[in-house]
Amino acid sequence: MITAALIVIIAPLLLLTAFFSVEVIAGLPANSCDRRTAPAASAVIVVPAHDEAAIIERTLSELKAAAGPRMRILVVADNCSDGTADCALRAGAEVIERIAPDRRGKGYALAFAAEALESCRPDVFVVLDADCSTDMESLHSLVSAAARSGRPCQAVNLLRPDRTAPPFVQISAFAFMVKNLIRQRGLERLCGRAHLTGTGMAFPFALVSSALLANGDIVEDLALGLEMSARGHPPRLVSNALVLSDASAPSDTLLQRRRWEGGFLATSLRRSPEFVVRAFRMRDFRLLVAALDLMVPPLALLSIVNFVALALLAAAVTACGASWAPVVADALLLSVAGALVFLAWLTRGREYVSFAVLAGAPLYVAWKIPLYLSLARRGAPREWLRTRR
């Protein structure tokens, strides 16, 4: 009876750890290269920018070189207190300004852009953050995919590798790659959909609704993708389109993680049960897979929960004389997940982090414990926490 009770208690964690492993296995093989010529569809590349005067001209210069002949660039200078709008104009972009201090967040800026474009609607609405860069082939692939599929499309969104950065920044960038490349690719292969990650997104303009975009959700990109999925338009991953950005300054890395992971966990707790119930009601296996993906916590938190569970299980088994089967099962699944993360490092992660730094990953996990304790005590941030460029 005690063994059965322990198995029931640990079953959800075993399921999520096993699903993480399956997703990584599915996402490890690289896609074949699919080169695209200039798309026939017209597109507007929307760059939401809040106080980005220091970097916006460089970003726009690179973006103009990558954009095709039927692509316009529109900068939304959103609640700016610096010269972002003037710098964008000097760089040759179209600019609109939005002043609404009580409605902060990228979602509101995108809704403002969508309203401004209603009189001259493009085929595709592309979103690229002001601190990101991409290339011509990626833009062409992204716009073509959105126009052909009629679905929201997401480029692979990664941080630029920097093995001179502090160890916890390197490991954070590696974990970001596992989430945004390998797991996204695995999710796409398992159920034909992916998550929106905020930049490098493309939407058929017919799907763009200012009412849908305008929200202050702290992870508005994830929420937008879930809402579009609920309306029958699940996002897809365009794996040969790449968007890069720099990692946050070392002093801001934990702040960035608190915003993203706190928002992700809050969204997961709020929306996952709804997706699971709907999947069983509709007998929709793909929706169930998407719900399981949403329930998997960030890699560091998944590791922490597994190690704590192992310790508690071992203590319970020792005290009660129950079977060691639950302990062995969790240890095996955790070992498999760890081995797959190491395989991900071998195949793609060595440009992000050296073996010596990766060996210190337990210290990175320990470094994040205060973050998770803070989130448990105070909840997710309720407003945008902007990091320094």
Is the pLDDT assigned to residue 280 strictly greater than 80? yes
In a domain, 206, yes or no: yes
**Cα–Cα distance, 123 to 141 (Å, whole number):** 14
In a domain, 260, yes or no: no
Domain CATH code at residue 101? 3.90.550.10
In a domain, 91, yes or no: yes
* pLDDT value of position 272: 87
In a domain, 365, yes or no: yes
In a domain, 226, yes or no: yes
pLDDT band at 383 (very low <50, low <70, confident <90, very high): low
310 and 233 part of one domain: no
Across 20-34, 53-67, 298-312, least confident range? 20-34
114 and 142 part of one domain: yes
227 and 283 part of one domain: no
88 and 227 part of one domain: yes
Q: What pTM value is reported for the model?
A: 0.89
pLDDT, mean of residues 315-325: 87
pLDDT band at 263 (very low <50, low <70, confident <90, very high): confident
In a domain, 274, yes or no: yes
364 and 238 part of one domain: no
Is the pLDDT assigned to residue 63 strictly greater than 60? yes
152 and 275 part of one domain: no
Determine the residue type at 263.
Answer: G
Intra-chain end-to-end CA distance of the chain, in Å: 56
Is the pLDDT assigned to residue 382 strictly greater than 60? no
DSSP letter string, 303-369:
HHHHHHHHHHHHHHHHHHT--SHHHHHHHHHHHHHHHHHHHHHHHTGGGT--HHHHTTHHHHHHHHH
Tens digits of residue pLDDT in 340-353: 999 999 999 999 99
* pLDDT value of position 128: 96
188 and 309 part of one domain: no
227 and 332 part of one domain: no
In a domain, 35, yes or no: no
The angle subtended at Cα 179 by Cα 289 and Cα 246, nearest 5°, is 150
* pLDDT value of position 19: 97
In a domain, 192, yes or no: yes
Q: Which of 232-241, 248-257, 280-289 has maximum average pLDDT?
A: 232-241
* pLDDT value of position 215: 66
SS3 content of the chain, % helix, strand, coil (to 5): 60, 10, 30
Tokens describing residue 58: 């460089």
* pLDDT value of position 107: 85
140 and 248 part of one domain: yes
pLDDT, mean of residues 361-377: 85
pLDDT, mean of residues 21-34: 88
Share of the chain above pLDDT 90, in %: 58
pLDDT, mean of residues 43-58: 93
Q: Which of these three, 192, 227, 252, is where a domain ends?
A: 252
211 and 315 part of one domain: no
Q: Is 321 left (phi over 0), alpha (psi -120 to 50) or beta?
A: left
* Domain housing 55: 43-252
* Counted domains in the chain: 2
226 and 323 part of one domain: no
Query: To the nearest whole number, what is the mean pLDDT of the chain?
Result: 88
pLDDT, mean of residues 153-182: 93
pLDDT, mean of residues 229-239: 91
Across 124-128, 264-268, 287-291, least confident range? 264-268
**Cα–Cα distance, 331 to 311 (Å, whole number):** 10
Q: Which of 95-104, 116-125, 209-218 has maximum average pLDDT?
A: 116-125
188 and 300 part of one domain: no
Q: Which residue has the tokens 């106080």?
A: 51
